[in-house]
Amino acid sequence: MHITIVGSGYVGLVAGACFAELGHEVILVDNDTRKLAALKAGELPIHEKFLPELLTRHRDSRLKFCGDLIEAVTASTAIFIAVGTPPTDQGEADLSYVESVAREVARAINGYKVVVEKSTVPVYTSNWIRTVMLRNGASPESFDIASNPEFLREGTAVTDFLYPDRIVLGAESERCISLLRDIYQPLENGSYYGRQSAIPSPDNARVPPPLIVTSAKSAELIKHASNAFLAMKISFANAVASICEAVGADVQQVCLGVGSDSRIGSRFLNPSIGYGGSCFPKDLMAFRAVARECSYDFRLLEEVIRINENQRKRFLQKVRSALWTLKGKRLGVLGLAFKGGTDDIRESPAVFTVEALLKEGCTVAAYDPAAIERAREVFGSTIEYAPDAYRAARHADALLILTEWQEFAALDLPRLHSQLKYPIVVDGRNLYDPRIMVEHGFTYYSIGREAVAPETYVAAVSGRDKHHNKA
C-alpha cells in the first residue's frame, strides 16, 4: 500500500516507521524543512525505544521524507493526518492544522483516496474534514474519511503500534474499511509476528490483536474516552493515597488489593505526583469541551483534573514537611520527563515541581537519562544539570524522585547516602520500600504511605518487640 503520513511529530513519525515495517511504501510529509533535513540525515527528534532501528532499516527505501504534500497525496491511496491539535485558551482542540491539510488534500486528489484521522480529534471532526474537502473541489465519490485513533504510550510507542491492545477503524463505507483492513493485515492475520526481523513482543501482548470496526464518530469518542478513563484511574489512586496518609494505611497495599479485581485491573492504578505529557491534560480538556457543546455537565472530568493539579501541590507540601523551610535549600532532583522512557517534558509534573522550588528560592541539581536537552530549553542556566543520579544528590539537603525511570529504582543506596548532606528522600513515584530505605539510614517520604525515619523505625520495632515479649 502507498501511504502518506502528514506530520512528523510523535504520532506521525512512529506511525510512518511502523507502517514501513509492515511492508508499506510510506511518504512522511512535513513543512518544517529543518526537521525533514534532520530526519533524512538519520537524526531523531524524540527518544523512543526501537525507533532508531526502524528508521535505519527503512529510511530511503520504504520510508521517505518529503515537503510537498500534493506530490505525496498524488502518489498515495491512504493519507493519514497526524498533525498537532494543541489546546486553545478555552481548552478546545485547535483543528486549524487539520483543516489546512484537508484543503490541500482536496486539491491534490487524482483518484480514490482514504483520508484518515490519526491525530487525536473531537467527535464530528470527520464530518468537518469531509465538508472542507467538498468545499475545496473534491467530488464525493473520490474519497472517504476514516478515524483510526492511536493508543501509543511514550517510551513504548513502537511496540504499542505493532502489538496493540486493539485496532480501531471508524468509517462509514465498506470500501474504506476494506482498504484499512489491508493496511493492518500483517497485524490482523498475525503474519508480521512470524518474521524473524519482527520487533520483540512485550509481555502479555495480544497476538493477533482484535480489530474493532465502528462508525467514525464512535472511533473519535473511543480515543478521548480511553484517555479520560486512564487519567481517572491515576487521579483515583492519588485520592485514595491522600486518605491512606491520613489514617496510616499503605496505598501500595490498598491498590494491590483493588487492582487484583479482574473488573478493575492494576494498570494505571499507581499513586504518584500526577499525570502529564502531551495527551492526558490536552485530551481531558478537549473532551470536557465536547461535553459542554453537547450540553452535558461532565463533572467527573472536572474532578479528575482538579485532583491531578492538587496532587502536585500536595507533593510540594510534602517537601516542605521534610525540610521545614525551602529558601536557600539545595535539592537533588531525579527526573524531568513526564514519565520514564521518554524525553518529553510537556506538562511534566517534574517540571512544575522544579519551577515551584525555584520560586521558593531553592537551588536545584537535576538528572534525567533523556530529557536534559529539552529541559535546558525551559530552565536555561537556572538549574544545574548533573551527569548522573549521584552527582545530582551531592551535598543536597534532600533528594526528590520525580520520574519513574528504571535506573532510579535500582540506585546504590549506601553510595547515595554518602552523597547527600542530609539523608532525606522524597519519592514522588513510590519506587522504594520504606523499610529498606530506613534500614539504609534514610528519612523517607512517599505517596500514600507514612513517612519513616531511622529513629521512628527503631522505636516502632522496639515497641513491637516489647509487646511480643509480654505476650
User: Could you tell me the residue ranges of all domains in the chain?
Assistant: 2-214, 223-307, 310-458
Q: How far is it, in rounded angstroms, from Cα 68 to Cα 154?
A: 28
Q: In what helix (H) or strand (E) does residue 387 lie, and over which residues does it extend?
A: none
Walk across the sheet containing 424-427 and list its strands.
384-385, 363-367, 330-334, 398-401, 424-427, 443-445
Q: Give me the active site residues, please.
A: 279
| Contact assessment for residue 28 and residue 12, using Cβ atoms and an 8 Å cutoff | yes
Give the pLDDT of residue 456.
59
Q: Is the model's pLDDT at 471 over the cut of 50?
A: no
Domains 2-214 and 310-458 share a fold: yes
Question: For the chain, what percent of residues have pLDDT higher than 90?
Answer: 88
- From the list 328, 117, 320, 299, the residue with the least C-alpha distance to 222 is 117
Q: pLDDT tens digit string along 154-189? A: 989 999 999 999 999 999 999 999 999 999 999 999
**Residue 468 predicted with pLDDT over 50:** no
User: What confidence score (pLDDT) does residue 87 get?
Assistant: 84
Q: How many other C-beta atoms are found inside a 10 Å radius of the C-beta of residue 350?
A: 28
**Region of poorest pLDDT, from 28-32, 91-95, 250-254, 258-262:** 91-95
- CA torsion sign for 310, 312, 313, 314 is positive
The predicted pLDDT at position 462 comes to 52
Domain 2-214 is of which CATH architecture? 3-Layer(aba) Sandwich (3.40)
pLDDT above 70 covers a percentage of the chain that reads 97
The mean pLDDT of the chain is: 93
At 229, the pLDDT band (50, 70, 90 cuts) reads very high
- Of 448, 423, 458, nearest to 437 by C-alpha is 423
Q: What is the CATH number of domain 310-458?
A: 3.40.50.720
Query: Mind listing the pLDDT tens digit for each residue in 243-258?
Result: 999 999 999 999 999 9
Number of H helices, E strands in the chain: 18, 14
Query: What is the band of 463 on the pLDDT scale with cuts at 50, 70, 90?
Result: low
223-307 classified as CATH 3.40.50.300: no
Nine cell digits for residue 297: 455537565
Q: What is the mean pLDDT of residues 287-291?
A: 92
Residue 270 has pLDDT above 90, yes or no: yes
pLDDT digits (tens, 9 = 90+) for 112-145: 999 999 988 989 999 999 999 999 999 999 999 9
pLDDT higher than 70, residue 461? no
Q: Is 357 helix (H, G, I), strand (E, B) or coil?
A: helix
DSSP state letter for 278: T
Residue 260: exposure state from Cβ atoms within 10 A (0-12, 13-18, ≥19): exposed
The string of pLDDT tens digits covering residues 50-66 is 999 999 999 999 999 99
